[in-house]
Amino acid sequence: MSAPIRAAPVQAGRRWAVLAVILASAVLDLLDATITNLAAPTIAADLGGGETLIQWLGAGYALALGVLLVPAGRLGDKYGRRRLFLIGIGGFTIASVACGIAGGAGTLIAARIVQGAFGALMIPQGFGIVTAAFPRDQLGKAFSAFAPTLGASSVGGPVLAGFLIQSDLLGLGWRAMFLINIVLGGATFLAAARLLPTDGARSDAPEVSVDGIGAGLLGVAMVAFLYGLIDGSAHGWGLVAYLCLAGGVAFFGLFCVRQRTAASPLIEPSLLRNRGFTAGLVLGVVFFAAVSGLLYVMSLLMQYDLRFTPVKAAVGLVPVAAGIVVASVACHRLIARLGRDLILIGLLTTLAGTGWLLFAASGTPRDVWSLVPPALVLGLGMGACFGTVFDVTMGDIDPRQTGSASGSLTAIQQLANAVGAAVVTTVYFGAGDQDGAATRSLLIVIVATIVCCGLVRLLPRKAQPHHAP
């Protein structure tokens, strides 16, 4: 087994260009991760597939990304981050083209899964490249750019989707959302090939191994669980749905056993013995699952219940993006002083925004302007949590375990996105009537947010300074 890889030094004037390339790849990933939140009804109307396609479009991408993130990060340590990043962005762009020319629902879902897999190769390398490129005293400033950028991108995807569908660029309709990556992904690839530092072999570091069995068990568990949820909501809760759910639980149990016995587990067992980290892990799963489902439901609410056009629905999501950016920037300055209290403020704000949205959605008249205030409050709450939940979770972690903990948390966030979208949309489509669908889905989000509030006091009091997200 070969030794890990070390990047060549980066000149001071070039560091910020390297950061810009990594940020561009992260934006590209998040745009495509969320772009189908708004576009799913339009795509389903064109290709067929109904509720099943709507649910798998986002869940399939997030599932592949979450399962493969940690193994892909270790492959970067082993074979070189620059090489894996270029493979990732190149494959991501090609998979985007496959999405854009897909002729059926099954083909599109498969292409989305491949897209997520290449995204997993790309994303962890970027964090490692930035860490290696910047001196320690500048890392905090470099990584402070991620929270507002990624927060805005998480809602920017649906907004972009709405305008692209409405404009019908070159007569491509929804396909333009994916085919535009020929330009965006191609430009990022060329910039990365030119700017990213080369990797040099490192002979003094321990060997790197990848737990393929653990990743496989986790992947099977997640696929079975999500398939059971989606099949049950689309075709009725029969034997197949229950067997898949049971199989998902069983394989997840095997994954947990594997983590205790593997030489290089995906999640270090010592991390799980840290109460603050474990509490943050659970809080992160519940919170990101809830807000992922919430954004999906907002799109379905506006397009199915309120009969908004895609562009009008996109306008309805703009306040969410604005709130996320404002809160992310403000909270970067406040986290050192407020610590975990800042997370509680964010959760309570999210709770208030969800309750307000529930009231606005059930009232009359219901138009886009009635949704703007609760959407802004929701954005502020989400932004306060996006950049702080995992920062505080890592507050008591041994600095030597920061890389492993950060990679595990990022992967868990993606898996939570997949599960949250599947669970909340299952509740939405299983409600039986449009008014009840939105109400029940938003109530699920409210309950999940309240659970998160109860977990805050188990977190470390303060964040760990100057680490990667």
Report domain extents, the chain. Answer: 9-137+157-201, 211-263, 274-469
Q: Which residues of 314-340 are buried (b: 16+ CB within 10 A; e: fewer)?
A: bbbbbbbbbbbbbbbebbbeebeebbb
pLDDT at 202: 47
Q: Give the tens place of pLDDT for each residue, 399-437.
A: 777 767 777 888 888 888 888 888 888 888 876 666 677
Give CA–CA dist 96/207, Å, rounded.
Answer: 34
Of 353, 412, 424, 76, residue with least CA distance to 218: 412
pLDDT at 204: 44
> Which residues fall within 8 angstroms of residue 31, CB to CB, at 6 or more apart?
153, 156, 157, 160
pLDDT at 468: 42
Of 336, 347, 338, 333, residue with least CA distance to 384: 347
Give CA–CA dist 277/256, Å, rounded.
Answer: 17
Amino acid (one-letter) located at 172? L
Superfamily (CATH H level) for 9-137+157-201: MFS general substrate transporter like domains (1.20.1250.20)
**What backbone torsions phi and psi does residue 123 show, to the nearest 5 degrees?**
-65, -50
pLDDT at 376: 94
pLDDT at 381: 94
pLDDT at 433: 65
> Which residues fall within 8 angstroms of residue 262, CB to CB, at 6 or more apart?
211, 213, 214
> H-helix or E-strand containing 200?
strand 199-201
pLDDT at 101: 95
Total residues found in the chain within this entry:
469
pLDDT at 465: 60
Residues of the chain with pLDDT under 70: 1-12, 151, 200-208, 363-367, 403, 431-435, 464-469
CB 92 within 8 A of CB 115: yes
pLDDT at 205: 45
pLDDT at 312: 85
Question: Concatenated DSSP letters for 381-418?
Answer: HHHHHHTTHHHHHTTTS-GGGHHHHHHHHHHHHHHHHH
CB 327 within 8 A of CB 381: yes
> Which residues fall within 8 angstroms of residue 29, CB to CB, at 6 or more apart?
65, 92, 119, 122, 123
Instruction: Look up the CATH number of domain 274-469.
Output: 1.20.1250.20
pTM, whole model, 2 decimals? Answer: 0.84
Query: Do 9-137+157-201 and 274-469 share a fold?
Result: yes
Give CA–CA dist 394/161, Å, rounded.
Answer: 35
pLDDT at 467: 44
Give CA–CA dist 170/190, Å, rounded.
Answer: 25
pLDDT at 469: 44
